[in-house]
Chains A and B, each alone.
Chain A
C-alpha cells in the first residue's frame, strides 16, 4: 500500500502563505499524470475536494488555493490564508485505484 505522510500541524498568520506538504512512499505519477488530490475538512463537516490531479482547482474553489508536485512530493498552497481556511487538509492518492489511501491530515492553525 502507498503510505502518505503529512505534518500534523501547521501554524500560520492570517494574510500569510501556508504550504502543506504530502510525501508518498512511492511514486503516484503515471506518464506525467499526478494522481494526488487534496481535501479540506472543517470540524463537524464532510471533506470537500479542493485540488485534483495535483494542480487542478475543483469547481467553486477560490484561486488562493493551488497545488503542485510530482512523483512522491506534493504541496498544497493557500495564499493568502483567510480565517475561513482554518481546517484540516488531507491528501489522497489514486495511483492504486480503487484501493485509495489518505494522508493522516494537517491541521492548519492560527499563529
Chain B
C-alpha cells in the first residue's frame, strides 16, 4: 500500500524558514518524480514544485522560485521542501503527492501538513 506521510509543519514568523518532510513507502521511491501541492484555507489546490526521480531536475511555480527548494533522499525514501523567506500568503496545508509514471496526474497524496506564517 502506497503511503505518504508529511511532517514538519507549524507556526512560523514572516521571513523565517521551515522544512517539510514526506516519508514514502509501499512503492519504489527512486522510480518516481515527486511533488508538493498546497491549499490555502478555504481555497483551491495549487501546485508548488516537482522533482524528477533522481533529483537532477526541479520545477517551481513562479511565486516560490528562489525561496523554496525541493529535494529528495532516495536512500531514505523521503521528499523535502525547504521554505525560506516565508510570507503570509504561503499559509496553507502542504500535500506531498506522487505524479503518475507519465507525469499526467497525482495518483497518491499524503494527508497534508499545515504551515501558518504569522507574527
Q: Please, how many angstroms separate the alpha-carbon atoms of A47 and B59 in the complex?
A: 22
Please tell me if the beta carbons of A52 and B105 are within 8 angstroms of each other in the complex.
yes
Q: How near does chain A come to B54, taking the closest CB pair, in angstroms? A: 15
Of the listed stretches B9-17, B19-27, B42-50, B74-82, name the one at the interface; the rest are far from the partner chain.
B42-50
* Interchain CA distance A37-B37 in the complex, whole Å: 15
A contact residues around B50 at 8 Å (CB): 98, 100
| Contact yes or no, B105 A94, CB < 8 A | yes
A53 at the interface (CB under 8 A from B): yes
* Interface SS of chain A: loop
Q: Which of A68-111 contact B (CB under 8 A)?
A: 90, 92, 94, 97-105
**A12: Cβ under 8 A from any B Cβ:** no
Q: Check if A92 sits within 8 Å of B45, measured CB to CB.
A: yes
Asked if A49 is at the interface (CB within 8 A of a chain B CB), the reply is yes
**B44–A92 contact, CB under 8 A?**
no
Q: Could you tell me if B112 and A102 are in contact, using CB atoms closer than 8 angstroms?
A: no
Given known contacts A46-B111, A98-B59, A105 and B105 CB-to-CB distance under 8 angstroms = no
- Look across to chain B and name the residue whose beta carbon is closest to the beta carbon of A41: B45
Nearest CB in chain B: distance from A96 CB, A: 10
**From A35, A47, A53, A99, contact of B106 by CB (8 A):** A47
Partner of B61, one of A46, A52, A99: A99
Taking the closest CB of chain B, its distance from the CB of A99, in whole angstroms, is: 7
Measured in the bound complex, the distance between the Cα atoms of B111 and A41 in whole Å is 11
- Chain B residues proximal to chain A, CB less than 8 Å: 33, 35, 37, 43-47, 50, 59, 61, 95, 99-100, 103-107, 109-112
